[in-house]
Amino acid sequence: MKLHVNTFHLKVQKVEQICLFDLTWGHGQNLTVQVNYPTGLTALYQDWRQAYLNFYQSEQMRGRSVGGGIAAIVVDWHAELVNAETKMIYEFHRWLRSAELYEIRARIAAASQDLAKSQPNTPAAIQVFLTCAPIELDRFPWEAWEMGAEFATPGAIQLIRAPLNIVTATGTQQGKPRQGRTRILAVLGDDTGLNFKEDREAVRSLLPIAEVQFVGWQPAQTPAQVIQQVTEAIADPQGWDVLFFAGHSNETTMTGGELGIAPGVSIAVSEITPQLMAAKKRGLQVAIFNSCSGLSIAESLIDLGFSQVVVMREPIHNRVAQEFLVRFLQGLSRHLDVYESMMSARQFLRMEKSHTYPSASIVPSLFCHPGSVLFRIAARPWKQRLRHSLPTSLEAIALGVSLLLTAIPGVQNWLQDGRMFSQAVYRRVTAQIPSHQPPSVVLVQIDTASLARAGVMQVNPIDRGYLATIVDRLRTANAAVVGIDLLLDAPQKDPPTGDKDLAAAVRRAINQHMWLTFAAILEPTGELSVSDATQITRPNWTLQGYVDADPFFVELPDRDCREACPIAYLMALVQAARQEITELPQPGVDAPSGKLRTQLLDHIEQKRTSEGDVIQPAERAAALLAATDDRFFTAARSCL
């Protein structure tokens, strides 16, 4: 029986101008490579950091001092920062893509591929614990290293930092793990020049699933009283699961970092080590420092045996810290683990806030003890969930009336239409569709800017060679279910190679088992879709669904989907079937003859017959369409 490796340890050490990459895994396996350190990388980092500090230069930095000064001339620091980041990241990636490191990248990617094959239905990830020495190497954005990209690795590779020296074991070996509801201690420190209102509200958002306690200085307190209040709270006999700190902080060489807990009052991590150790013994697992320059803080806490520590490696602006915290805690509230929550927050800063807060996404980092399990807030026990979901008396009456009406022949369709409409309106008005959750399907809008960047002159009808590039991009991104809402009902003469290029791209995608659905329109004789003369598709490898839909109403099929099927419902049906049914017929150019859609529906019907009352994909697809209303499609500008 083959044992699959899930964990790697990568140590990167710099001696003069040589870097030693030492990869270990499994039962003593080891791979060591020497690589020249890029001579200009340090200077590029320093240029980036200076531009970063100049752009965010403000009293609202969560640190004591950020350097810099008042510029004598007007400088576009936003452009300077973006340019400096681009140069640094380019040189950093070029170094990591060097030929000397190929075997290390390939070894990790191969493990990810083996894991994905052995556990196709389990979202397991390869973990790479990265240790850097000296600390100057730790300052680089290693989280941006996409080491599996060149191998089209399907599984996730989590790059997690670990300090060079770890003396204490992790976990709660000396005591019993904490039981009961998750407990969070939030320490709000020196707020000089800052505003903790949003930090407080973000932490309070976890109250439905966790117990939260705040502690912080008050204007009438003396320094001694503040220190006593904070230390006693940390060492609370009931114990904590998560420690959160907001305020000013700094790196220190000998004391493990410094925390500003009140104006003019700082405390070193080494000073509160006894309280931290007591808290760890009572179950404390995660520490989150939403403050500046936390590398030495993370290293000292992991050395003390803490499981996980989230820090900012650089000075961080107050608004950026708050944006990160809100998204990070939203991840925890959805029961994501610490790594997933951090990456979700980083992705938000990179995709949604890159213009407002440039370079903010490359500052947060997660340090972990290699022996720890990533923390997540556990879902509530089933009795609590049941109690929470019980209807009120009024809701129970309404539910009973609704059930009675559904038994009357002739009103079911009318009730179903009204229910879906009212549900969609209610969810939108009451904001029950959180904006941070990704939509089930993303509609990529081909806009003028995208066409101009690609040099596409043929717009109506659109150049099918350009569509081929889009299909290839979706294939490399491992998109599983794709719909093309463009009618290709006739061969394209200009350019003459358009149909051939698109057909080749479709075949490449189908060979990767992508479910492709093409748009069709309803005719008296059936659906009219891609012309057979184009040789772009075949009915045994692709699907087609009609787009003659009401713009204000989600349409469900009113006939046998084997004859004609709405494209949105068909795509939702495929996605639901992929999630709930194994051994589905797979798209492929060598697939058996016959319609792929018919094979899909037959397989679903067989599953329904064999499993009786089990929820089936047809119902799941209908529920998905009804519940997501117009967010089922979300417009996004093309990145091509």
Could you write out the DSSP letters of every residue in 423-492?
Answer: HHHHHHHTT-S-TTSPPSEEEEE--HHHHHHHT---TTTTPHHHHHHHHHHHHHTT--EEEE-S---S--
Asked if residue 329 is part of any domain, the answer here is yes
If you count them, how many residues does the chain have? 640
Task: Output the six-digit token pair for 431.
Answer: 């904001």
What is the predicted pLDDT for the residue at 559?
61
Burial of 246 (0-12, 13-18, 19+ CB in 10 A): buried
Asked if residue 174 is part of any domain, the answer here is no
Name the residue among 98, 3, 2, 123 with its Cα closest to residue 41.
98
Instruction: Quote the pTM value.
Output: 0.60
Task: Output the six-digit token pair for 623.
Answer: 């529920």
Which domain, by its residues, includes 58?
7-161
553 and 445 together in one domain: yes
What is the predicted pLDDT for the residue at 639?
26
146 and 67 together in one domain: yes
Q: Could you give the CA distance from residue 127 to residue 308 in angstroms, rounded to a whole number? A: 14
Q: Could you give the CA distance from residue 98 to residue 88 in angstroms, rounded to a whole number? A: 16
> What's the structural domain count of the chain?
4
416 and 501 together in one domain: no
Q: Could you give the CA distance from residue 331 to residue 337 in angstroms, rounded to a whole number? A: 8
Question: Which amino acid appears at position 317 of this protein?
Answer: H
273 and 296 together in one domain: yes
State the residue for tokens 């213009």.
355
Q: Could you give the CA distance from residue 120 to residue 572 in angstroms, rounded to a whole number? A: 21
Q: What is the CATH number of the domain that holds 314?
A: 3.40.50.1460
Asked if residue 170 is part of any domain, the answer here is no
Asked if residue 377 is part of any domain, the answer here is no
Residues 6+ apart with CB under 8 A from 30: 22, 23, 24
213 and 113 together in one domain: no
What is the predicted pLDDT for the residue at 66?
41
What are the strands of the beta sheet with 265-268, ordered from one edge?
Answer: 248-250, 258-262, 265-268
Q: Does residue 257 contact residue 296 with C-beta atoms inside 8 Å?
A: yes
What is the predicted pLDDT for the residue at 277?
94
What are the strands of the beta sheet with 125-133, ordered from one edge?
Answer: 29-36, 18-25, 7-15, 125-133, 156-161, 364-368, 308-312, 286-290, 242-246, 182-188, 210-216
Task: Output the six-digit token pair for 515.
Answer: 């479910």
State the residue for tokens 């058996």.
592
Q: How many helices (H) and strands (E) does the chain have?
A: 19, 20
347 and 416 together in one domain: no
Name the residue among 589, 603, 570, 595 with its Cα closest to residue 482.
570
Q: Could you give the CA distance from residue 33 to residue 97 in angstroms, rounded to a whole number? A: 13
At 586, give phi and psi (nearest 5°). -105, 140
Name the residue among 297, 285, 270, 281 with its Cα closest to residue 371.
285
- From 111, 126, 161, give the residue that closes a domain: 161
Low-confidence ranges of the chain (pLDDT < 70): 1-5, 58-74, 171-178, 380-393, 402, 405-407, 409-421, 424-443, 458-459, 550-560, 609-640
Q: What is the pLDDT of residues 448-497, one digit of tens each?
A: 777 777 777 766 778 888 889 899 988 888 888 999 988 888 888 888 88
Q: What is the pLDDT of residues 303-357, one digit of tens each?
A: 999 999 999 999 999 999 999 999 999 999 999 999 999 999 999 999 999 999 9
What is the predicted pLDDT for the residue at 325?
96
What is the predicted pLDDT for the residue at 556?
65
Q: Return the number of other C-beta atoms located less than 10 Å from residue 318's C-beta.
A: 22
Asked if residue 167 is part of any domain, the answer here is no
Strands 441-445 and 633-637: parallel
Task: Output the six-digit token pair for 473.
Answer: 């991009």
Q: Could you give the CA distance from residue 404 to residue 416 in angstroms, rounded to a whole number? A: 14
What is the predicted pLDDT for the residue at 95?
97
Asked if residue 59 is part of any domain, the answer here is yes
109 and 148 together in one domain: yes
353 and 255 together in one domain: yes
422 and 311 together in one domain: no
Asked if residue 1 is part of any domain, the answer here is no
147 and 227 together in one domain: no
Residues 6+ apart with CB under 8 A from 530: 488, 489, 518, 536, 537, 542, 544
What is the predicted pLDDT for the residue at 61?
61
95 and 244 together in one domain: no
11 and 113 together in one domain: yes
What is the predicted pLDDT for the residue at 517?
92
CA 354 to each of CA 44, 47, 357, 432, 440: distance values in angstroms, whole numbers, following the listed order: 20, 19, 5, 27, 24
Q: Could you give the CA distance from residue 204 to residue 431 in angstroms, rounded to a whole number? A: 18
